[in-house]
Amino acid sequence: MPQYGYSFEGFDPTVHVRASGREVNVSPKAAREIAVTIKGMTVTDAIEYLELVREKKKAIAFRRHKLKVGHRSELQGFPTGSFPVKAAGAYLNVLSNLQSNAEFKGLDPERVQIIHASGYAGRTIKDFTPRAFGRSSPNFHQLVHIELVGKEV
């Protein structure tokens, strides 16, 4: 197994708490947009927000990857948005891990604020789909690394 580091600089084990999900099979674009959305929220607020995303009651604003994405009237500031249900579920797993790590360290999980959230591309799974006349087409899957760092405020 490879050993992964964190992209967060200046980690202090007495103040910060962190959690990660490695090589998760979700969309890298949706993972990036969720990370931008939940950064700065408390852990409980982020969990509530992502639960509403999974129920398709609140949308995630797509700021960078916004082409061919539908418009959402409930979003403020950025008109394009979507409901990335699978990526929200992956983030909920990492958020519950972050919450458990905060409890283990003796921090109050209600007051832990997410100060670093990132979702970036990991390993590529290469697959090929057979086509007619002996040809094949690539069908690659991009895995994602999810990192969350929190601090009690």
For residue range 103-144, list pLDDT tens digits in order: 999 999 999 999 999 999 999 999 999 999 999 999 999 999
C-alpha 41/C-alpha 61 separation (Å) is: 15
In the structure encoding, which two tokens stand for residue 26, read together? 């979700």
pLDDT at 68: 86
pLDDT at 8: 92
Contact 84, 27 (CB under 8 A): yes
Model pTM?
0.92
Taking phi over 0 as left and psi of -120 to 50 as alpha, with beta for the rest, 10 belongs to left
pLDDT of 23-41, one tens digit each? 999 999 999 999 999 999 9
Model confidence at 152: pLDDT above 90: yes
In the DSSP assignment, the letter for residue 3 is P
pLDDT of 55-82, one tens digit each? 999 999 999 988 888 898 888 888 899 9
C-alpha atoms less than 13 angstroms from C-alpha of 152 in its C-beta half-sphere: 15
- Residue range 36-50: average pLDDT? 97
Where do the DSSP E strands lie in 11-91? 16-24, 60-61, 81-82
Domain layout of the chain by residue ranges: 16-152
Q: Which CATH number fits domain 16-152: 3.90.470.10, 3.90.950.10, 3.20.20.70, 3.40.190.10?
A: 3.90.470.10
